[in-house]
Amino acid sequence: MKRVIFNTAILIGLSISTPLYAGISVCYDQNNNVSNFSLRGNAVPGCDYYDLGQNVTQQKYEMVRDLLKTVDKRYLKKMNGYPVEMSPAEKVAVDDAWAQQITDNLKTNAKSYLTNDTPDAKAMRNAFRVVMASLIETRAKVNEVINKGNIPNTTTLPNRTWAQVVGATKAQIDAETDPNT
């Protein structure tokens, strides 16, 4: 019985000496944009901590909480010590940067298909090589006609190497244009 009372006292003592907080932690990047947040718990090192009744009023606490719950964190920044919603122009700039990042990633992934060793990339390269061989055959036939003099004032068509095909494909991916339109 003494042991049960002793163990219970220790558990109660531990629970009292280890406080649990319900504050809000908001982390910012180097540009003071919200990078992460937690709506409850202990303070996160390196982040702002808003603790109701300790360092913020009820009104400020609710404002921060509601803002974090309702606005995408991409559109939040720090101003005067608190997170605030960005202006419409700032949101457009964020979206434009995000779209550019997605586009850059897509281009990088598309170009990597020309050199990766994945099954899909190998299949695509083999399809390119089939088309390339067909073009070489077609050019050879056209060059025969040109060399016979049947098409005056025309030079023969040079064949592209695999390196030229890869380079032209990467340039086309970067240009983001469809030559057929």
Mean pLDDT by 10 residues, the chain (181 residues): 52 47 87 91 90 88 93 94 94 94 90 86 87 89 82 81 87 77 62
Q: Are residues 77 and 117 in the same domain?
A: no
b/e sequence 12-47, b meaning 16+ C-beta within 10 Å:
eeeeeeeeeeebbbbbbeeeebbeebbeeeeebeeb
Query: Domain count of the chain?
Result: 2
Same structural domain for residues 111 and 170? Answer: yes
Residues 63 and 109 in one domain: no
- Does 103 map to a domain? yes
Contacts with 64 (C-beta within 8 Å, 6 or more apart), sequence order? 24, 26, 50, 56, 82, 83
Q: Residues 169, 117: one domain? A: yes
Of 39, 63, 86, which residue is a domain's last? 86
pLDDT of residue 11: 47
Name every residue whose Cβ is closer than 8 Å to that of residue 62 and which is 6 or more positions away in sequence: none
User: 59 and 119: one domain?
Assistant: no
For residue 127, tell me if it sits in a domain.
yes
Whether 49 and 122 share a structural domain: no
Q: What is the pLDDT of residue 6?
A: 47
Domain of residue 82 covers 17-86
| Within a domain: 10 | no
